[in-house]
Structure 1
Amino acid sequence: MTALPPIERRQESVPPARRRLAPEARRRQIVAAARAVMLRRGLAATSLRDIAREAEVSVGTVTYHFGGVDEILREVVTSESHGFYSRVVAEARAASDPRAGLRALMAPMFADSEPVREHWQIWADYWGAVGRRPEIAQTYAQQIRVWEDCCTELIEQGTAEGVFADVPARETAVKLAAYSDGVGMQRAQQVPGLSSEKALAWMLEFAGALLRCEI
């Protein structure tokens, strides 16, 4: 009788979500899953169960790390703000002069790319949630002001150098942020005729009017 070959025992790989992760790594995994679900379904239709399924963990694991969808949303938005703007801000601060810095700060916000479209989709959901429940923004409002902070610095620099008109820097930065949010949301809604190039041109035109200087 011919001996049968030994049965090969396949080593089952442990799904990533089931591996033991450090608490911070698990939180990042859940936040990344929440971001993906929000982009796919929208915040209003996103539940803890959806997030758990996307992260391949139990609902109990999600609630162990987060108090609910609102807390996860705060983490998504904070992470999005710092992740999206970190390179933009670094390039703006490294620019040769304040006007070039403002252009470097504004141009990437209206680029015709998937990351930019995703960014504005997340912000649209966030502002919609804040409009319904303002309290969800109170605990971390300053953490997402990365763009405004850099804009304020550039305006202060330009004013000190005599490049820009003498305007209140923080207030002007908030005006520019508000305008960019509006234009960005219009782009996210795919308003006909509002191209990436036109959105940036409007932004630079508005900044120039506020600072009384061609940007």
Structure 2
Amino acid sequence: MTSTPASPQDAGTGASTLAERARLVVTSAPISQREFADRIGMDPTALSKALRGSRRLKDHEIAAIAQVGKVSLRYLRTGEGRPPTPRAAARGAAPRRRADTLEPEVRRAQILEATARLIARRGFHKVRVADIAHACGTSTGTVHYHFPTKDDALRAALLYYADRFHTRLDAEFRTAGSTVEKLRRLIEVQLPAGEEDVEEWSVWVQSWNEAILDPTLRPGQSGVYARWRQVVLDLVRACQREGMAADADAEALTSRFTGMVDGLAIQVLSGTGGMSTARMRELLLDAFAPHIRLR
């Protein structure tokens, strides 16, 4: 008995999740997965994780995958509509040399993420505009359009990682059962334990260094720092309203804690003094003692 070839619509029937549909789009493209990642401005490892379902795709990444993979956003998000043409059916067609032009907001988000990642991994002074353009599959002119100078790129990278940090922190706080638990969660999120944590800290420390040398960068750096410090201060004052640290100076406790976080993280990242993330955690858990006990 002969089997009937699957139709293009059937090809997408088994793709029941966003990750599965994205994987189908990528594997159907007439280019390698690495080149696909370059064209949409994603790190190849991050794309692999997303296709396995272990990393959540962001809105601009979904839009870029749909555009480069020549499917509709509706299909990618819901599974409704025309699925991608399998690669085998498209062998006769010559691969495109360039990715389709992305919508401006998608392109800007793509450039921002690539810029932040490159600065975090290579260092501000080692990243060229050409490197950013290559990572995004676009021109240096397009990069300059969105970020006219490298200082603009550094500011944007700092804000990118700050927003990502606060998003993670908000998610942790939503499931914390008490103010003390929120302080514990805050400490965990601050630790430079994983790859993404190290990238955040890398840009943060580099922004400090550049702000020391260039006063024009200080307002942006100070604004990001003030936002984080306010989170700590609000938690300390919440503890005071709950009867803890009643006679303590909330501002002083906050300054002591934030100073410890910064100093200990730099020691971990630079391999100074034998500091480890485990030791950093232990020291920070005692940072508010004896006024607020976290263990």
Bin for the TM-score computed over the shorter chain? 0.7 to 0.9
Note the aligned Cα RMSD (angstroms). 2.3
Q: Which amino acid aligns with 1:214?
A: R
Larger deviation, residues 66-75 vs 42-51:
42-51
Distance in 2 separating the partners of 1:129 and 1:111: 21
Distance 1:9 1:90, change over 3 A: closer
Q: Which amino acid aligns with 2:293?
A: E
8 A Cα contact 1:30 1:55, kept in partner: yes
Q: Please, what TM-score do these two structures have when normalized by structure 2?
A: 0.62
Secondary structure of the residue aligned to 2:287 is: helix
Distance in 1 separating the partners of 2:209 and 2:221: 17
8 A Cα contact 1:89 1:147, kept in partner: no
Secondary structure of the residue aligned to 2:223 is: helix
Secondary structure of the residue aligned to 2:289 is: helix
Name stretches of at least 5 consecutive residues in structure 2 with no aligned partner.
Answer: 1-90
Distance in 1 separating the partners of 2:274 and 2:197: 18
**TM-superposition CA deviations, 1:79-104 (whole Å, max 9, x none):** 10111231223323542222211111
Q: Which amino acid aligns with 1:127?
A: W
The Cα of 1:56 is off from its aligned counterpart by 2.1
Task: Report what 2:95 is aligned to.
Answer: 12
8 A Cα contact 1:106 1:203, kept in partner: yes
Distance 1:94 1:208, change over 3 A: farther
Name stretches of at least 5 consecutive residues in structure 1 with no aligned partner.
Answer: 1-7
**TM-superposition CA deviations, 1:44-90 (whole Å, max 9, x none):** 22222222222222111111111211111111111101112312233
Secondary structure of the residue aligned to 2:193 is: coil
Question: Following superposition of structure 1 onto structure 2, how do residues 54-133 of structure 1 map, counting pairs within 5 Å?
Answer: 54-92=135-173, 94-110=175-191, 112-133=193-214
Larger deviation, residues 164-173 vs 39-48:
164-173
Distance 1:175 1:14, change over 3 A: farther
Percentage of matched positions with identical amino acids: 25
Q: Please, what TM-score do these two structures have when normalized by structure 1?
A: 0.83
Q: Which residue of 228, 235, 246 corresponds with 1:147?
A: 228
**TM-superposition CA deviations, 1:99-139 (whole Å, max 9, x none):** 21111111222153222222222222111111111321314
8 A Cα contact 2:261 2:284, kept in partner: yes
Secondary structure of the residue aligned to 1:112 is: coil
Task: Report what 2:50 is aligned to.
Answer: none
Q: Which residue of 265, 278, 283 corresponds with 1:202?
A: 283
Distance in 1 separating the partners of 2:235 and 2:172: 12
8 A Cα contact 2:155 2:220, kept in partner: no
**TM-superposition CA deviations, 1:20-61 (whole Å, max 9, x none):** 222221111111221232133211222222222222221111
8 A Cα contact 1:93 1:150, kept in partner: no
Does 2:121 correspond to 1:40? Answer: yes
Q: Determine which structure has the larger helix proportion and give its number.
A: 1
Distance 1:196 1:139, change over 3 A: closer
Does 2:104 correspond to 1:23? Answer: yes
Aligned length: 204
8 A Cα contact 1:82 1:146, kept in partner: no
